[in-house]
Amino acid sequence: MAKPLTLLAAFTIALVCNQSLCGLDRWGPITKLEFPSENGKYLLRIEPHDAWPNKPGHCRGTLHQIDAGVRTEVWSRFLINNHAPVSVYVANSGNYVVTMDEWHHVGELPVVVYGNRGRLVRVHSTDSLGLENDSLHIAQSASSYWWNEDAKIFFDPDDEALLIQLHWGKLVMLNLKDGDVTNEERYAQRKGWAISEAKWEALQDFAKRKLAEHAAATPKLVP
C-alpha cells in the first residue's frame, strides 16, 4: 500500500513545482533597443546603463525622426525606469511615446507616457489603470505581474489615445494628452464629463475594427 506523503516530502514537491514555474520566468539580456512607430517615421532607441544596479534611472531614450533613412534627433532624456522598459509604443505623429513595464519586473511602471520634447505626462500603476479588481485574470510569477500578457495595443487614428485590449476582454483607453484612463466602468461613472459620448463611441468602433483586422490576420490553426 502506498505510504502517505510526509509534510517534508509535500513541501519538497511544491518547491520543485514552483522552481519549474520560475524557470519559465527567466530574463536574459536586453536585445531589443529600437522601437519604431507603425508608419516608420519615428523611432525610439533605448540605451540601458551597463551598471544600472548602481546607477538606476540612467536608461537613455532618444526619439528620432526618420526621413529617407536619415535619422534626426527629436529629443533625448533619461527614462524613469531603473533598468529599461519591456516594450515601447511610438505614435505615428511622434508626439507621444508610451513605455510599458520595468525589465525583469512586469507590472512595475506598467504605463508611462512621454509627450512633446520628452515631457513626462503620466506614470501609471496597475490600479490607476483600473485593474485593481482584475487579479484573477492576471498571471503572476516570481518576478512579475503579467497584466498585459497577450494584449492588443494600438493608437487611435488621431494619435490622441492608446487603446489596450486585455486578454480577458477589458478595453482600457488612455488619453495621451493628460494620461487619464477611461474604461467602461469609469465612462459610466463620468459619462459626458471626461470624454464625450461621440468620442467614446468612435473609439469603441475603431477598437472593434482593429481587433477584427488582427483576428483576420492571425493564422488559423488547422486541427
Please, which pLDDT band fits residue 189 given cuts at 50, 70 and 90? low
Residue 75 cell numbers, joined: 529629443
Residue 41 cell numbers, joined: 517615421
The yes-or-no verdict on residue 3 having pLDDT over 50 is no
Rounded CA separation 112/122 (Å) = 6
Name the more confident of 218 and 81. Answer: 81
- φ/ψ bin of 32: left (φ > 0), alpha (ψ from -120 to 50), beta (otherwise): beta
Rounded CA separation 63/123 (Å) = 19
Which of 70, 80, 153, 160 has the alpha carbon at shortest distance from 119? Answer: 80
Average pLDDT value for residue range 79-101: 97
Per-residue pLDDT tens for 8-61?
444 333 433 443 344 457 788 898 999 999 999 999 999 999 888 888 899 999
Give me the pLDDT at residue 171, please: 92
State how far Cα 16 lies from the chain centre: 31
Per-residue pLDDT tens for 140-163?
999 999 999 999 999 999 999 999
Using only the alpha carbons of the chain, give its radius of gyration: 21
Q: Which domains does the chain have, with CATH numbers?
A: 30-216 (2.40.128.630)
Per-residue pLDDT tens for 129-140?
999 999 999 999
Give me the pLDDT at residue 78, please: 97
Rounded CA separation 18/6 (Å) = 18
In this prediction the pTM is 0.82
Which DSSP string do the residues of the chain spell out, in sequence order?
-PPPPPHHHHHHHHHHHHHHHHHTT--------EEE-TTSSEEEEEE--TTTTTSTT--EEEEEEEETTEEEEEEEEE-S-SS-EEEEEE-TTSS-EEEEEETTBTTSS-EEEE-GGG-EEEEE-TTTTT-TT-GGGSEE-SS-EETTTT-EEEE-TTSSEEEEE-TTS-EEEEETTT--EE-HHHHHHTTTTSS-HHHHHHHHHHHHHHHHHHHHHSPPPP-
